[in-house]
Amino acid sequence: MTCVPSVTENWILTAQCPSRLGTVDVVTRYLRERNCYVTEHQSFDDRASQQFFIRVEFRPEGDEALDIASFEAGFAPRASEFGMTFELIPPGRLTPVVIMVSKADHCLNDLLYRYRTGQLPITIKAVVSNHPDLAPLAEWHGLDYHHLPITAETKPEQEQAVWRIVEECGAELVILARYMQVLSSEMCERLSGRAINIHHSLLPGFKGAKPYHQAFEKGVKLVGATAHYINDDLDEGPIISQGVEPVSHADSADDLVARGRDIECLTLARAVSLHVQRRVFLNGARTVVFQR
């Protein structure tokens, strides 16, 4: 199935470094010297961590095309003076991703729809699951579906097979779209900063089977979802996006489930969009997120 995702026509330059006078100037001055017009600029200086973050969208002026190698070579020595790491993203670039799922189809279906209709600048390389249930959905979209069953005894081998798929696909992002398995410490380390998970956010917290039904029994008044980068602490990685919606005594347990699924879909899609547009920076256990 041919997909033409919506992509920015601008170049994107992101950078971060220790806080220091002149950090904005070193970026914008170089763009001016390269005859580049800034169309969007966001920056943040975190006093707590003493780290500076900047994201700039720009377009070259004139007829001469921008050469990536030349641009990076010219900016590198200036960035080095500030201990600055940077990334340059050309217009139209699609981020290669692998999606991992179990049996629940709502997040996968939502991502595939947004992919098919051009709402996400990604290219889906494969869908991986520990169950065979969602193979028809992936195959209808022309995507490779890898059924990799898992048990406590086979977990190391299963995760190694997942890692091979990620590497062979050249995936830069792994999306856990309701993948109901806890990743090992080794896998979390391998995917640090490049794997996004989604889970419900119910207060008070409800764990185990049927959390929305537990919430209904307690009469909760809010349901929500959290999308975050994975780490070795279950569901406690750096947060990218959150969503919430009020509910009332008139809502049944099934109503809570339905609303929760909708919020999970929207929150996950928002987090993926922010990540692939290079709007998210890791800042220790926290994130800096430049919203659109």
Residues 282, 170: one domain?
Answer: yes
Task: Give the residue with greater pLDDT, 235 vs 129.
Answer: 129
67 is annotated as an active-site residue? no
Report the CATH number at residue 271: 3.40.50.170
Give me the amino acid identity at 275: H
* Residue-range definition of the domain harbouring residue 236: 95-289
Residues 59, 107: one domain?
Answer: no
Asked whether residue 2 carries a pLDDT value surpassing 50, the answer given is no
Residues 145, 227: one domain?
Answer: yes
| Count of the separate structural domains present in the chain | 2
- Residue 204 has a pLDDT of 62
Residue 38 has, within 13 A of its CA and on its CB side, a CA count of 17
Report the CATH number at residue 38: 3.30.70.260
pLDDT, mean over the chain: 92
Residues 135, 75: one domain?
Answer: no
Lowest mean pLDDT among 53-57, 168-172, 219-223: 219-223
Q: What average pLDDT does range 9-16 have in this prediction?
A: 96
Assess if residue 4 is contained within a domain: no
Look up the pTM and report it. 0.92
Give me the amino acid identity at 248: S
- Residue 206 has a pLDDT of 76
* In contact, 264 and 107? CB cutoff 8 Å: yes
Q: Of 70, 89, 108, which residue is a domain's last?
A: 89
Q: What average pLDDT does range 173-202 have in this prediction?
A: 93
Asked whether residue 116 carries a pLDDT value surpassing 50, the answer given is yes
Assess if residue 3 is contained within a domain: no
What is the percent of the chain with per-residue pLDDT over 70, rounded to a whole number? 96
Confidence of residue 7 (pLDDT cuts 50, 70, 90): low
Of the listed 144, 235, 251, 262, which one is catalytic? 235
- Residue 1 has a pLDDT of 42
- Residue 243 has a pLDDT of 94
Assess if residue 5 is contained within a domain: no
Q: What average pLDDT does range 115-143 have in this prediction?
A: 96
The model's pLDDT over 166-187, given as tens digits with 9 standing for 90+, comes to 999 999 999 999 999 999 999 9
Query: Contacts for 138-141 with beta carbons within 8 Å, 24 or more apart?
Result: 138/108, 138/112, 141/1, 141/112, 141/115, 141/116
Residues 175, 243: one domain?
Answer: yes
Q: CA–CA separation, 40 vs 275, rounded Å?
A: 17
**Nearest-5° Cα angle at 105, 101 to 110:** 100
Residues 81, 152: one domain?
Answer: no
Residues 262, 132: one domain?
Answer: yes
Concatenating the DSSP letter of every residue in 110-125 gives: HHHHHHHTT-S-EEEE
